[in-house]
Chains A and B, each alone.
Chain A
């Protein structure tokens, strides 16, 4: 299994540009989520999905859209990039073990908005 894959690894955008961060998993996990990681702060949840066709907002959803048309893919769209969205973005998938949810993370996308 490739696990959780993310593309691109690095990206530089100008303010106002849009782009999509790709995330895919091949483990047939129902749950997927996007986090951002900023210096001095813990990972923060942007959006999550509990299955194909179902998405919901996390702690910091403003400026981001998601969709989940298949179990495998969970892209994150930045509609109009702002410098405040400079961050490292992690996609994760998880599955229920019965007593909790085991979490798998992608390698991250480092985004700089100028």
Chain B
């Protein structure tokens, strides 16, 4: 079993729909990242969370440390939101080294007009 699991793998939505992507992890973490990868490959960091909730525009990320679960929500989805969304967990026990980011396999989102 992967240490970071995302669901669903693929998601198709109609423009305007509310979207939720889930991420579960099985290791102790110091932070959880949500990344976006558009077709063509570039990867952009959306959020870094260690507790609670963060919001940026139509994107909201939440994390529940006790349940080892995070969600990424997109409100009023738009075709330009079509991308792969990647969850990545930063393990706690590396004394500050950043060589410990574990990635989920990604969720491919397609938003139809």
Contact = CB atoms under 8 A, between A and B. Distances in A.
Most chain A beta-carbon neighbours within 10 Å: one of B2, B41, B50, B97? B41
Nearest to A49: B99
Q: Dominant SS at the A interface?
A: strand
Interface residues of A, number: 29
A100 B101 contact: no
A99 B98 contact: no
A71 B102 CA distance: 24
Contacts of A40: 105
Contacts of B105: 40-42
A31 B33 CA distance: 16
B45 A48 contact: no
A45 interface: yes
A100 B31 contact: yes
Most chain A beta-carbon neighbours within 10 Å: one of B4, B43, B104? B43
A99 B47 CA distance: 13
A94 B98 contact: yes
Contact of B45 (A31, A42, A90, A103): A103
B42 interface: yes
Given A102-B45, A103-B35, 15 more contacts: A40-B105, A42-B86, A42-B88, A45-B99, A48-B99, A90-B43, A97-B48, A99-B31, A99-B50, A100-B31, A101-B31, A104-B45, A105-B42, A105-B44, A108-B43
23 contacts: A31-B98, A33-B98, A35-B103, A42-B2, A42-B4, A42-B103, A42-B104, A43-B103, A44-B103, A50-B96, A50-B98, A50-B99, A56-B99, A99-B50, A100-B31, A100-B50, A100-B90, A101-B98, A102-B48, A103-B35, A104-B45, A105-B42, A105-B43
Interface of B: 2, 4, 30-31, 33, 35, 41-45, 48, 50, 86, 88, 90, 96-99, 101-106
6 nearest A-B residue pairs (beta carbon):
A42-B103, A100-B31, A48-B99, A105-B43, A43-B103, A108-B41
